[in-house]
Structure 1
Amino acid sequence: MVELIRKIFDDHDLFPFSLAYKSTKSSQSELPDHFHDWYEIVFVYRGSGTFFVDHTFYDMKQGDLFLIPGNTIHRATPDKETPVTSSAIYFSPAMLQAAQFGDGFSYLQSFEQASALRGYKLATLPHHAQQLAQIFESIQYELLHAIPGYRQAIYLHLLQLLLYVQRDVAATEARTPHVDTLVVPQWMREILLYMDQHYCENISLTTLSKRAAVSPAHFSRAFKQLIGMNFTAYILTKRIIRAKQLLQESDASVQTIAEMCGFESLPHFHAMFKRMLGLTPAAVRKSV
C-alpha cells in the first residue's frame, strides 16, 4: 500500500490558485508525506517544527520561507509545544506564462534554483519578513472581499511576491542545505542521499540496512518514524515522479521509461502510475 498522498486541488481552470492563511496546525492535522503538481510557498510567522523536503530535513522557525516546486515530496511536522503558524500559497505554473521582455527573468527562477541547488529554505531578514507578511495579508484581503477584479489583484500580488523573493530575499539570503540541530542520525542523512542517487536501481532493505550499518528492523522503524512512510513507498514515489518528468520532456517510449525508472514490467509500471497519479502514462504524454 502506497502511503504517500498526491494532493489534488479544486479544478480552477481559470484561476489555479489557493491560499491557506495563517493556519496553526497540529501533527494530527498536517498531511503525511505528499506531493502535488502545483508550486508551493510557505511562510512561517511563529512557532517551530520540522520540514522534510525532497530528501532533506529542515527546522521551521519565525521568518523562514520555503519554496517547493511541483512534484516534490514534502511533509511538515509542527512542534507539539509550540506549533508552527504559517501561510501557504499554492499555484499552477501555468498562471505565469506571461510575456517575456528579453531580460532573462523568470518568475519561477527561485523555484528552479531551489531544485538545482537542492535547497528549499530561505531564512529571511526582519524587513524581508515584514514585506512578505504584508503581501500575504493583501492576498487574503482580496480573497475575503472578492471585489470585482480581485483575481487580477491576487495575480499581481503573486507576481510581486515572486519578484521580491527572487530579487531581494534570495539575492541576500543563503539557502539552508541542511540543519544540524535536528535530531536526525547521520546514517539517515547519508542513506537518504544514497537513495536519491540510486532510486531507479534495485535497492533492497538488506542493501540499505547494511549500508547504514543498522539492523533491517531498526532501519525500517527509523525510516518510517523520521520520513513518515516506508522506504518502498518512498522509492516508488520518486520513480513515478521521475517517469512523469521523462514522459513530458523526452520522446522515449513508455517501455523504455519504465525500464529507466526501475520497473521490471510494463503492467506494473502502468498500474502504479495510474494508482499514484490518477492518469495513464499515455494521458500524461498527451497533455504536454
Structure 2
Amino acid sequence: MQPVRKPFHLDPVFPFELVYKGVRYSDNEWPDHLHDLYELVYIHEGTGSFFIDHTIYEKGPGDLFLIPGNTVHRAFPSADEPIVSTALFFSPPLVEADSLGDRYEPLQCYNMARGQKRYKLTPAETDHAGIELLLRAMAEEMARQETGYRHAIRLHLLRLLLELARLPAVHAAPAAASVGFGPAWIRQALRDMNRDPVGCGGLAELAGRADVSPSHFARVFKGLTGMTVTDYVNAKRLVRAKDLLLSTDDNIEDIAAACGFLGMRHFYEQFRKLTGLTPKAYRDQMKA
C-alpha cells in the first residue's frame, strides 16, 4: 500500500503547527504517511510503537522522535496505555539562519537522524524537564497569541533544537551528518529571498544563479520547504508590506510597487489571503 501525503494548510509566513499533549488512539492515527514538514514528537505518557522509514521503534514516556520531511511514518498507540504526546510541525525555512562560524546548524539533529536513519532519541531524565518546559512555553504562546507570539515560538523552537543538538547521541555524530538543510544553493537562495524578496528575482533568475534548471530548482525547493517559489517570495513581500503600512504614511499603491507587486488587484488578493483584511483596513485597525 502506497503511503498517503498528509495535507497541511499553514500560514506561509509562519509555517508551524503544534498539537500539545494530544491523546492518541489507534483509531485516530493516520496510515503510513508522509508530509513536507519536519516533525518532532515527544511522549509524555503511554506506550506503543512507531514505524519510521522501514524501522519500528518502541515508545514510552520521555522518548523523542525526529521525523525529517518526506519520511514515511505511522504511529501505533497501545490499546491499554494510550499515548499522550506533543507533536510539532514546521517548515525548515522557519529556523534556517546564516552560519555564525561554529559549525552548528539548527537542523543538525534532523540531519543526524536522516543520515544515520536513527529517528529516536532517549534523553536522560535530567533533560526531560527542559524539553517539556520549552514545549509548554510554545503551547502557551500559541494559546495566548500576544504581541510577538510568533517570534517567541520561533525562539523556543530554536532553543529546543539547540538543546537536542547538544545531547550526547547527536553531538557525537560524525560532522558529515551536519551538512545543513538541503544543498548549498537552496540555502543561498533562501538567504537571498529573505534579505531582498523584491530584488531576488523570479524562478528563472534564482535557478540561473544556482546553476540548475528552473524545473529542478522548483522541484527541490517545493520538496524541502513545502512551498512554491512564488508563494514563498509573496509571503516575504507581504511581511514587508505590513511593516510599511504601519511604519510609513506612504499610499497603498506605492507600498505595493515597493514590495514587488505589479498590480493592485494581485496585491489586494494576496494581502487579504494572508491577513483577512484589505491593506487599508489592516492599517486602520493596527493604528487605531
Q: Relative to structure 1, is the Cα distance of residues 131 and 282 closer, same or farther in structure 2, using a 3 angstrom cutoff?
A: closer
Structure 2 residue 85 is the aligned partner of structure 1 residue 86: yes
| In structure 1, C-alpha distance between the alignment counterparts of 2:49 and 2:9, rounded to whole Å | 27
TM (normalized to structure 2)? 0.60
Q: Which amino acid aligns with 1:9?
A: F
- Counterpart for residue 117 of structure 2: 118
- Counterpart for residue 132 of structure 1: 131
- Counterpart for residue 21 of structure 1: 20
Q: Which amino acid aligns with 1:92?
A: S
| In structure 2, C-alpha distance between the alignment counterparts of 1:172 and 1:93, rounded to whole Å | 20
User: Is the partner of 1:114 in helix, strand or coil?
Assistant: helix
| In structure 2, C-alpha distance between the alignment counterparts of 1:132 and 1:4, rounded to whole Å | 31
| In structure 1, C-alpha distance between the alignment counterparts of 2:214 and 2:97, rounded to whole Å | 32
Q: Relative to structure 1, is the Cα distance of residues 253 and 26 closer, same or farther in structure 2, using a 3 angstrom cutoff?
A: same
| In structure 1, C-alpha distance between the alignment counterparts of 2:211 and 2:48, rounded to whole Å | 39
**Structure 2 gap ranges (5+):** 174-209, 222-227, 230-288
Percent of counterpart pairs with the same letter? Answer: 40
Contact 1:124 1:173 in 2 (8 A): no
Contact 2:10 2:16 in 1 (8 A): no
- Counterpart for residue 219 of structure 2: 284
Structure 2 residue 45 is the aligned partner of structure 1 residue 39: no
TM (normalized to structure 1)? 0.60
**Could you say what the CA RMSD is over the residues aligned between the two structures, in angstroms?**
2.6
Contact 2:23 2:84 in 1 (8 A): yes
Q: Relative to structure 1, is the Cα distance of residues 83 and 283 closer, same or farther in structure 2, using a 3 angstrom cutoff?
A: same
**Structure 1 gap ranges (5+):** 175-248, 255-280
Q: Relative to structure 1, is the Cα distance of residues 250 and 63 closer, same or farther in structure 2, using a 3 angstrom cutoff?
A: farther
Q: Relative to structure 1, is the Cα distance of residues 49 and 29 closer, same or farther in structure 2, using a 3 angstrom cutoff?
A: same
User: Is the partner of 2:76 in helix, strand or coil?
Assistant: strand
| In structure 1, C-alpha distance between the alignment counterparts of 2:127 and 2:168, rounded to whole Å | 7
Q: Which amino acid aligns with 2:219?
A: V
- Counterpart for residue 272 of structure 1: none
- Counterpart for residue 6 of structure 2: 7
| In structure 1, C-alpha distance between the alignment counterparts of 2:141 and 2:211, rounded to whole Å | 40
User: Is the partner of 1:112 in helix, strand or coil?
Assistant: helix
| In structure 2, C-alpha distance between the alignment counterparts of 1:251 and 1:148, rounded to whole Å | 41
- Counterpart for residue 105 of structure 1: 104
For this pair of structures, how many residues does the alignment match?
Answer: 187
Q: Relative to structure 1, is the Cα distance of residues 140 and 282 closer, same or farther in structure 2, using a 3 angstrom cutoff?
A: closer
Q: Which amino acid aligns with 2:42?
A: F
Shift of 1:168: 3.0
Shift of 1:14: 0.6
| In structure 2, C-alpha distance between the alignment counterparts of 1:54 and 1:119, rounded to whole Å | 9
| In structure 1, C-alpha distance between the alignment counterparts of 2:85 and 2:69, rounded to whole Å | 19
| In structure 1, C-alpha distance between the alignment counterparts of 2:217 and 2:107, rounded to whole Å | 27
